[in-house]
Amino acid sequence: MTEAALRAEIASWPTPPTTLVPTHGDWQPRNWLIHEGQVSIIDLGRAGLRPAMTDLARLAAQNFARDPSLESAFFRGYGTDPREPAAWHRVRIREAIGTAVWAHQVGDEAFEAQGHEMIAAALADPRGH
């Protein structure tokens, strides 16, 4: 049922142009180092050109979901929220599928379960906020 719903939805997606910017690819607190008030970033192995909102997918699925106050705090420092609702929904679906598939391939059952939870959440809430 979930696979059929995902296939049908993805087949209906538009392909609008998008602005690409440098992104980290694994943007989350474990990759932020703070020393004497300065934030540095580590682990750039997934860095690439993508829509800005893609770096927010893991934060939304993990940190913002766990504590919604973190989302507003993050954007107070980050600036304008780049998540347009329809595009954000597509990003969430892609990230969720990618998480579940990668985790399955490497045998990480807990992370695979998180990917399936992300899929269910994205399908249940297409607006994503």
Q: What are the residue ranges spanned by the domains of the chain?
A: 23-124
Residue 79 Ramachandran class (φ > 0 left, ψ -120 to 50 alpha, else beta): left
Q: What is the pLDDT of residue 88?
A: 95
Q: What is the pLDDT of residue 1?
A: 80
Helix (H, G, I), strand (E, B) or coil at 74: helix
Return the structure tokens found at 100: 């579940």
- What is this structure's pTM? 0.86
Return the structure tokens found at 56: 């927010």
Give the strand pairing for 32-35 and 38-41. Answer: antiparallel
Helix (H, G, I), strand (E, B) or coil at 70: helix
pLDDT tens-place values along the chain, 129 residues long: 889 999 999 999 999 999 999 999 999 999 999 999 999 999 999 999 999 999 999 899 999 999 999 999 999 999 999 999 999 999 999 999 999 999 999 999 999 999 999 999 999 987 655
